[in-house]
Amino acid sequence: MIVREHPSSLQLFFVMQGSVVPKIIGRIIGVALLSATILVIDQRVVTLPHISIGAMGIFGVALSLFLGFRNNAAYDRWWEARKLWGSMIADVRNLGRHMCVFVGKGSDREHILSCAVAFAHLHRGFLRKVDVRSDIVPWIGEAKSTAMIARNNPADAALRSMADQIGKLSEKDAISGFGQMTISQTLSSLALAQAGCERIVTTPLPFVYSLLVRRTTYLYCWLLPFALIESTSWFAPVFSAVVAYVFFGLQAVTNELELPFRNVQNGLPLDAMCRTIEISASEALDRQPPEPLSATNHVLT
């Protein structure tokens, strides 16, 4: 995720970090060259068919509505993912308070909160398809880390380990029924947030809709020069390039926001949020908390 102050009016046109321009520059240049070629042929070789600028305007409005709707849907996914991770952070902090109230200090409290940290890292590993063994071994040990990672759903295995520990405390009458119910509700909330993230990562936007918008964008940019050669003459390549930047840019932004857990510049900072959970658990266990992750070159991972 990009973390920086808004650039000045002059810097605005030169900032490339977090921009989609590097991804679409080839398409922008291609549309500009196509427009220039059509213009030269029309003025120097043979008169080509001209399209009404009004008709292209109506076409452009319709395309803008499609792109805007798809972009809003993608942003809703990104924002929902952020809210789900925010609820997980809050649940781990609540779990630390529950341990103080219902369990007290000791190995049981340490086991449950350490598994909560492992849960966050294992869930991050699933969402990003990365190895998180080195992050969880200091919290739960080598043997338990290996056992959890071997499961089909490692993060769910961490939740079950916490639930098993609560069950053992209940059997020993070391926790009240109300405490057991309260902690179980918090674990259920963690599981719901996990399931919500899994739903987002395994269910992209409908492909048929994305395909329709992408095809329409290309058709519009290819037909636009035929509407500009009469009204804008030699400025047609410039106008075509600007329109291509807007439409292809919106398309690229949507593609980034659609899958918010990817480790890209505009993705969610899962590493930083896992570190926040580590800090909360460490303070609940009266340990020295690690330092929060900071942005490197304005990028927070």
pLDDT band per the 50, 70, 90 thresholds, residue 113: very high
CA-to-CA distance for 60 and 54, rounded, in angstroms?
10
Which residue is associated with the tokens 């095809």? 215
SS3 291: coil
CA-to-CA distance for 155 and 123, rounded, in angstroms?
5
Please return the burial class of 80, using the count of CB atoms within 10 Å of its CB with bins 0-12, 13-18 and 19+: middle
What is the predicted pLDDT for the residue at 16?
65
pLDDT band per the 50, 70, 90 thresholds, residue 55: confident
| Contact yes or no for 189/119 (Cβ under 8 A) | no
pLDDT band per the 50, 70, 90 thresholds, residue 133: very high
What is the predicted pLDDT for the residue at 151?
93
Inform me whether the pLDDT recorded for 298 exceeds 80.
Answer: no
Residues in a beta bridge with 299: 2, 296
pLDDT band per the 50, 70, 90 thresholds, residue 164: very high
Inform me whether the pLDDT recorded for 299 exceeds 90.
Answer: no
H-type helices in 99-174, by residue range? 107-128, 133-140, 142-149, 154-171
> Measuring CA to CA, how many Å separate 52 from each of 147, 224, 295?
67, 10, 49
**Taking residues 136-145, what's their average pLDDT?**
94
What is the predicted pLDDT for the residue at 4?
64
SS3 83: helix
Inform me whether the pLDDT recorded for 209 exceeds 90.
Answer: no
Backbone angles phi and psi of 16, in degrees to 5:
-105, -20
**Taking residues 187-198, what's their average pLDDT?**
96
**Taking residues 101-130, what's their average pLDDT?**
92
| Contact yes or no for 232/92 (Cβ under 8 A) | no
> Which range (6-15, 131-140, 217-226) has the least confidence?
6-15
CA-to-CA distance for 82 and 195, rounded, in angstroms?
14
What is the predicted pLDDT for the residue at 162?
93
pTM: 0.89
